[in-house]
Amino acid sequence: MIKKFHKVSVDILIVKENKILLGLLTRKWNYNGQQVYGVPGRNIRFGEKIGNTVERNIKEDTDCRVIKYEIICVNANFALDNHYIGIGVVVNIEGDPKNLIPEDWERWEWFDKNNIPNNLFPAAKNLIESYLNNKVNVSE
């Protein structure tokens, strides 16, 4: 029997002037048969502080620098046969986002917070709902 474990990650929402940065994920990350938008974020490394994880992920994914971050929620994500506990973070950045991981992201796009696409990866959807509705979590 293969034993599975949950993982802990950060899900990072970049906000600037009432706009939210989303990345169109490559087809290898299709969810329910469609291409979806997501937010930066990955596993928290053993011994790594949350702030360091946020800074590392933003630098690795976009080549931007985190000016300020705030933890806003905790959500469960079971997409793609995984179990992640995602710590949702809102950040302000300095710099223009670049696509540094083309195997994961097709492009970055700014969306008005009142006009978010429907095709969202579950972790991004949970984080955005938490942010817009000021809720600590939207999934369990």
Q: pLDDT digit string (tens) for 9-38?
A: 899 999 999 899 999 999 987 778 899 999
Burial category of 135 from C-beta neighbours within 10 Å (exposed 0-12, middle 13-18, buried 19 and up): middle
pLDDT tens digits, residue range 100-129? Answer: 999 999 999 999 999 999 999 988 998 999
The conformation of residue 52, written as its DSSP 8-state character, comes to H
Class for domain 7-133, per CATH? alpha beta
Task: Label the pairing between strands 7-16 and 84-94.
Answer: parallel
The residue-averaged pLDDT of 46-59 equals: 95
- Overall size of the chain counted in residues: 140
d(CA 51, CA 56) in angstroms, rounded, equals 9
The owner of tokens 């179990």 is 83
